Each structure stands twice: as C-alpha cells, then as structure tokens.
Structure 1
C-alpha cells in the first residue's frame, strides 16, 4: 500500500504538469458525442430498437467509459525496450506492469475535472440525454467500467510484450484497435448490429470494453450474464499470456538501445 500511494502521488503530480495536454486528450475522445448526433437523428424514423433519448444517453456513457478506459502502455513499453530504458525499470523491486498501471490510474484522476466539464456542456447542449439512473444498474456499470479498464490494460500490455521480439508491437495494437472500434459498441450499440455479427462480437472481448458498462450506466435492459463470465474468461486468457510472454521475453531481452 505504501508503494501504491507513493506511485500514485508521484504520477499524479507528473500528470498535473500537463493539464493542457490532458484537456486535449479528453477532447480527442469526443467521437461518441459526434456519433450520438448522427444516431439520434437517424432514430427519429423509429426504425431502430432505441429511442433518440436512449441513443443520446448511451453515447454519453460510451464517452465516459472510453475516457475511463483509455490505455497507451504499448507505446510506452515499446519505447522502453527500443531505447534500453527497460533495464533501469528492471533494477527496481517493482514489476513494470504495476508501474505503468499506476501512471494510468493517476492520469484518470487528473483527467476527471475535464471530463466532468465536458459532460456538463453536453447536458446543456442535449437536454434529452438527462436522466436519473437507477442505483443498482449504475453501480454495476461503474464496477464493469473498472473491470473493462483492467481488461483493456492487460490486453494492451500483453501486446506490448511482443516488443521483445519485434520493434513494432504498436502495429499489432493498431489491428486490435480497428477490431475494438467496430466491435466494442463505440460506433453503434450492439442492438443495431445484424444478429450473426452481434453473436460473433459477443464471443470476443471487445464489447465488454465499452458496450456492456455503457449500457448499464445508461439504464438499458441488458443481461449481466454471460457477459461478465466472458469478460473474466478473456481476462484469465490474457493474464496467462502476460505471464508467459514476460518470462520468455526477459530471457530474450538484450538491453540494447540508448
């Protein structure tokens, strides 16, 4: 706990030095708010299973979930390996996994005021999105958001370990990001997907990174199971891959770089 408190305080101070950059990064995640306008307009025809107000609430929650679950560890880890900085991290009595995780959590705390400001602005512009959430679904949505962040971080960190064998692990992450963008519910809620595509998407980890927590937060009627089970299954798979690639990667690591 002492190490965790120290890491969080140090990284929080570091993140607060770049407040303007954090605000720009928060603005960069407003794609769901733009898509919300498109889907709300399309829903006026009544041809979709969600009403305009439900679309507005859903995409607002997608915006909030994505702000809470953004991960960039693959770029940091790749630079550490290529430039040889990982050698210095390995001298510390702390797994780099936890070091980078603390930086991500601190960044969430530093980003929070900007996200709240953008949310208030959103409510002013789109009053139809205002609603009072039910306590239990909202709390479940918050818990699922935390799990979604941990799962996405674990997935990307596992991808980052490929840097031990290739200097372009980020290229693999870009492929995963395309799948994430289309299958996670960021561009459209899964209710509007064709049934075969929706069934296929639900077998992957991507819908549980955005759609499931956002739907709960928005008050939509969605089932907790088997979604939570699939989420935990993929978490277990990537946990095992992380430990395996870490052990093999350390044996392969030569410490070259600057």
Structure 2
C-alpha cells in the first residue's frame, strides 16, 4: 500500500509541476469555458421581463455555479489519447507496469489543483460585482456537491475516454466527442437549467447521463428540489456502464493497435 501511495504521489507531483509551467495557458482554458457567464446575462435579463421558475438572482447563482463546477469536471483526454495513438506514443506507455489511463487521470487531477486559486479569485470577483447573488450554502449541500463533482468528473472522464477508444479504428475520434457535445450543451444544464424544461422532457432527460455532469451537482449546491438518492443511483449506474464499455473497447482496440504493427 505504501508503495502504491508513493507512486501515486510521485505521478501527481510530476504532472502538477508540468501544469505550473503552463499557468498562462490554463488561464486561457478557464476563460474559454465562460459560456455559462454569457448565458447568465441572457437569462437574468429574460427573468426580469418574464415569468420563469427561477428569479433573476437565482439564474445568476445557477450559471455562476455551472461555470465553477465545469472548471473542475472538464475533460480533454480524447484529444491526448488520439494523438498518442496516431503518433505511436501509446506504445511506450504500454511498456510501463500500469494502465496508461492513470497518466491521463493524474494529469487531469493536477490541472484541477492549478485552477483552484483562480476559481477562488473569480468567486470573490463575481460576488463583488454582483453582491445580490451572494449566498452561503449549508454544509450538507456543500458536501453533497463535492461528492457529485468527483462522480461527475469520473463519469465525464469515462464517457470521453470510451469515445477515445475510437482512435484505434479512426484518426478522427474527436468527431465523436464533438457530436456528443451538441446534446451535452443543452441536456446537461449548461445552456439552461432543466427546471425551465417541460416536466415530461425533464423526466426523460434525468435518465440520461447528461444532467449528472453539470445540473445535478449545481442543483445540490443551490438546494434545488431533486431526488438525491435516485440521482446518485442513476449516476453510479452510468459510471459502471461506461467503465465496462471502456474496458471492452480497450481490449479490442489493443488487438487492432498491435495488428497495425505498433
């Protein structure tokens, strides 16, 4: 166990140091995810002139929470993995005594730590500019949100890493992710809270994996009326499904990869 922990800490420290070298680039990554902030202005303005389930202040809190949670659940593994397969770099990682996936996981976790100071700064700045949106969640909501954020990152990573297996058969596995994103941006709660959807549509969407990467953690943080137990079970179910699918495609892909002479 001590040997395993030491290896994990070593890998994390290496990738953390690597991420610190790209602080400016990470700042640009954060800004590139500012779509929720743009949409916040649209929905806040709409709420002031129309009748919605949420008030203008609640819309502001919602989209800021979406922005922050996406900072810690974003994933880009498909682009890295596709490059490794195409350039043959995966071959070197296959010689190591552990699954190459751990390299990607360590890099993602290290990157989250480098975002933390910036996330704190943006939180202070947001409430300074929009003080009427300030609120303090209770400790239970915070703990539930943190738990679902970890699960949301796990689910998003497994989904995208599963799509990345397509790189064994095509040079454009990222096209799968881009197609998935068309649904994700609307059904995950990025473009609008699911509370503004018709109840029938919302009930159907809640059975898909989309809401559990964004909407569900945000809803728990803001204390929206959601079925917590059902949400966790569905979320866990999708994690298991994509984990199994990922390992199956990994084994098939390795045969294809070796068959290509790599």
* TM class by smaller structure: over 0.9
How many residue pairs match? The answer is: 258
RMSD: 1.5
Q: Distance in 2 between matches of 1:249 and 1:242?
A: 10
Distance 2:18 2:98 in 1: 19
Tell me which residue corresponds to 2:255: 251
Q: Which runs of 5+ in 2 are unaligned?
A: none
| Whole-angstrom distance in 1 between the partners of 2:201 and 2:261 | 44
Matching residue within 136, 142, 158 for 1:132: 136
Question: Are 2:125 and 1:121 equivalent residues in the alignment?
Answer: yes
Structure of higher RCO (CA pairs closer than 8 Å, 6+ residues apart): 1
Name the SS of the counterpart of 1:50 in structure 2.
coil
Residues 117-196 of structure 1 correspond to what in structure 2 (within 5 A)?
A: 117-196=121-200
Question: Where in structure 2 are the equivalents of 1:21-170 lying within 5 Å?
Answer: 21-170=25-174
SS of residue matched to 1:185: coil
Bigger drift between 128-137 and 12-21 goes to 128-137
Which of 3, 7, 12 aligns to 1:3? It is 7
Report the secondary structure of 1:4's partner residue: helix
Q: Structure 1: state its 5+ residue gaps.
A: none
CA distance in 1, matches of 2:57, 2:225: 15
Deviations 1:133-160 (A, max 9, x none): 1110121011101100010001100110
Q: Decide which moves more: 211-220 or 185-194.
A: 211-220
